[in-house]
Amino acid sequence: MSRGYIIPIGGAEEKDLDPSILRRFVQTCGGESARLAVIPTASQLATTGPRYVELFQELGAAHAISLPFEDRADCEKEEWLEELRTATGVFITGGNQLRLSTTIGGTSVSEILRVRNEEEGLTVGGTSAGASILSEHMIGYGDEGTTPRCDMLALAPGFGLTHAAIIDQHFQQRNRLGRLLTALAFNPRPIGIGLDEDTAAFIDPEDNLEVVGSGALTILDPSEMEFSSMDSARRHEPLAILGMKLHILTEGCTFDIPSRTAKHPSIANP
């Protein structure tokens, strides 16, 4: 089987009036046949997991369960691991992404997610912190602001479902352009994906990305970056970055990650 979908969401997705992102997530996981596991570890609220279970059931999923992994020992509970082995989709909620990496990273849970997404077609989505954790390199925390600075963020290991992107969330609402630029100045191999709230990237098995939701998605493409002053910048100093390409995509727009090609739905394919 091919790799499954990877679906990062920028947080604060619509849940009541028109939950288009969550509905599309359920459809991608199998619709009426979907078996969904919710991982609410990043959240400190006991109601987070059950709330998503209720939403997914209302949207027609055949089965939905919350797996509240609260410590690393929980990540080896066989009955919960079996739910992950039989799921068609896994949804990781928002909260604190470092709680996700320190609780789940390196456990059987993260290994099942990575292997099943890569080899068995498991769809894995996440919102807010649950979006950031999906990539190989994750922004653990950082400062707000438009101008990149060498010390404005801390990178941490993610779950490694994709090596092709670094993902940030609440992007426009929390003014996070500078920290995503800084992350790419450290490592200009992946693209940067900045997700506004109520906005998702549906990344298919061939790494074609489609935007769904009411906000915008910012793509930072460093493939033609000519220069970065990261190696010489002093603490608190702004960075010089030359040749970074930026795209702003809205619902229906697509981006082919391997070819670094963006398209608007009104432009006919050649």
What are 126-143's pLDDT values in tens digits? 999 999 999 999 999 999
Residue 54 located in a structural domain: yes
Q: What is the mean pLDDT of residues 48-72?
A: 98
Q: What is the pTM of this model?
A: 0.97
- For residue 69, what are the domain limits? 6-263
Residue 56 located in a structural domain: yes
Q: What is the pLDDT of residue 181?
A: 98
Residue 269 located in a structural domain: no
Residue 64 located in a structural domain: yes
C-alpha span between 107 and 218 (Å, rounded): 32
Residue 26 located in a structural domain: yes
- Which of these, 49, 126, 51, 42, lies nearest to 89 by C-alpha position? 126
Q: What percent of the chain has pLDDT over 70?
A: 99
Report yes or no: 111 and 120 within 8 Å, Cβ to Cβ.
no
Give me 143's structure tokens: 């400062």
Return the amino acid letter for 267.
I
Residue 85 located in a structural domain: yes
CA distances from 249 to 2, 72, 109, 147, 229 (A): 26, 38, 33, 21, 28
At 154, is the pLDDT very low, low, confident or very high (cuts 50, 70, 90)?
A: very high
Number of domains in the chain: 1
C-beta pairs of 157-160 under 8 Å, 24+ apart in sequence: 157/101, 157/105, 158/101, 158/132, 158/133, 158/134, 159/104, 159/105, 159/110, 159/113, 159/114, 159/133, 159/134, 159/135, 160/114, 160/135, 160/136
* Strand duo 241-242 + 227-228: pairing: antiparallel
Query: Could you report the per-residue pLDDT of 93-106, keeping only the tens digit for each?
Result: 999 999 999 999 99
Could you tell me which residue, 28 or 1, shows the higher pLDDT? 28
Residue 25 located in a structural domain: yes
Report yes or no: 34 and 4 within 8 Å, Cβ to Cβ.
no
Residue 229 located in a structural domain: yes
CATH code (residue 158) = 3.40.50.880
At 64, is the pLDDT very low, low, confident or very high (cuts 50, 70, 90)?
A: very high
* Strand duo 191-195 + 165-168: pairing: parallel
